[in-house]
Amino acid sequence: MKTAFQRLLPLAGAVALSLAGISGAMALDPTAKWCSGVKIAAFPGGPQGGVFANNVYNGFRQAELDLGATVTYYFSDWDPNKMLTQIQQAVATKVDGIATYGFAGEPATGPVVDEAYKQGTIFTSLNTSLPDSQAKYSAQGFGYVGAPNYAAGHALAAEAVKRSNLQKGDKVFVWGLKGQGGDRGQRTVGVIDAFTEAGAEVIYQEIDAATNADPNAGTATFVGVMGANPGIKIVVTDHGGLTSNVGVYAQAANLTPGQVYFAGFDMSPNTAQAVKEGFQNLVIDQQPFLQGYLPILNICLTKKFGFSGLDINTAGAFVDSTNVDAVAPLAAQEIR
């Protein structure tokens, strides 16, 4: 007499064969250019060819090549108002997706996001988040690729405090974008908060529009601040373009390598050189190439397969003199 187990074996085999047949029929073969036909508006952020913006642009372009989407690029000179106008223009063209920064903040950008989703355009953010919009539309593809900005600012300053042996009452100079508000401004707030917690005297300078667009325009400002505040121990440049110009600023102010501890955001060929020369001491690498590549992938995955938005922290590491040689060749290619 067959046991119950023996009686079930033929049935189990038949079910397995049936499932195998279904699996084979439904399997998706790897497909080249699987996002062909999808139209995307992408925002590198700064001027064409500019520091950081070009790394994001290179990520966009690689994703465009790999995935087959058709991408239109908007360069915004780091101007939130210009970027917002361009976003509105992109929505009007009824593209399938938009990958952009949240520089203008929720009050200004939120209604544009609503308009985009109402007409079926997938909206996703990079570098600077729009948390309310992301919460509202994450199931429909709104994601974020970048650093958690307040935490990144706080982490950079706290690490600089530790490595420089900062003492209570020491002066620090923070050159940032607190006045920009929104998530972007919160990165500068995080820097200031960490220094305040350490008992430092914070000297703050808002990055003006001219320096925001062209870091060389800020050289006189830097020299003036350093001259008016002798004894500054740490300088934080909360902007990739300014960080790339640290060697120029330091030499213009007659600083020698190591005289002041410089910490900042974002790798570039000039920043890597400044680290090697001893002017730049600490950098958070946000991996901006990923901030370009992954939002295009995000939009394609949502458009083609209905996936929800990605949420990815790209700022996981510090660069200093101990590891800059590994990163410098990639910075020269504007990948890192």
State the pLDDT at residue 109: 97
Other beta carbons within 10 angstroms of residue 12's beta carbon come to 10
State the pLDDT at residue 182: 86
- Annotate the chain with three-state secondary structure: CCCHHHHHHHHHHHHHHHHHHHHHHHCCCCCCCCCCCCEEEECCCCCCCCCCHHHHHHHHHHHHHHHCCEEEECCCCCCHHHHHHHHHHHHHCCCCEEEECCCCHHHHHHHHHHHHHHCCCEEEEECCCCHHHHHHHHHHCCCEEECCHHHHHHHHHHHHHHHHCCCCCCEEEEEECHHHCHHHHHHHHHHHHHHHHCCCEEEEEECCHHHHHCHHHHHHHHHHHHHHCCCEEEEEECCHHHHHCHHHHHHHCCCCCCCCEEEEECCCHHHHHHHHHCCEEEEEECCHHHHHHHHHHHHHHHHHHCCCCCEEECCCEEECCCCHHHHHHHHHCCCC
Other beta carbons within 10 angstroms of residue 30's beta carbon come to 5
Band of pLDDT at residue 336, cut at 50, 70 and 90: confident
| 149-285 to CATH, choices 3.40.50.300, 3.40.50.2300, 3.30.720.210, 3.90.660.20 | 3.40.50.2300
CA atoms within a 13 Å half-sphere pointing along the CA-CB vector of 18: 6
Band of pLDDT at residue 22, cut at 50, 70 and 90: very low
Other beta carbons within 10 angstroms of residue 2's beta carbon come to 8
| 39-147+288-316 to CATH, choices 3.30.930.10, 2.60.60.20, 3.40.50.2300, 3.40.1170.20 | 3.40.50.2300
Band of pLDDT at residue 27, cut at 50, 70 and 90: low
Alpha carbons 246 and 289: distance in angstroms, whole number: 22
Q: What is the pTM of this model?
A: 0.86
Bigger pLDDT: 7 or 246?
A: 246
pLDDT at 167 over 90: yes
Q: Kindly report the backbone phi and psi dihedral angles of residue 258, in degrees, each rounded to the nearest multiple of 5, phi listed first.
A: 90, -10
**Mean pLDDT of all residues belonging to the chain:** 92
What the block records as the tokens of 251 is 């030499």
Give the pLDDT confidence of 229-238 residue by residue, as tens digits: 999 999 999 9
Give the pLDDT confidence of 32-51 residue by residue, as tens digits: 999 999 999 999 999 999 98
Give the pLDDT confidence of 96-118 residue by residue, as tens digits: 999 999 999 999 999 999 999 99
Among 78, 85, 81, which residue's Cα sits nearest to residue 212?
78
Band of pLDDT at residue 275, cut at 50, 70 and 90: very high
pLDDT at 257 over 70: yes
For CATH 3.40.50.2300, list the domain ranges present in the chain. Answer: 39-147+288-316, 149-285
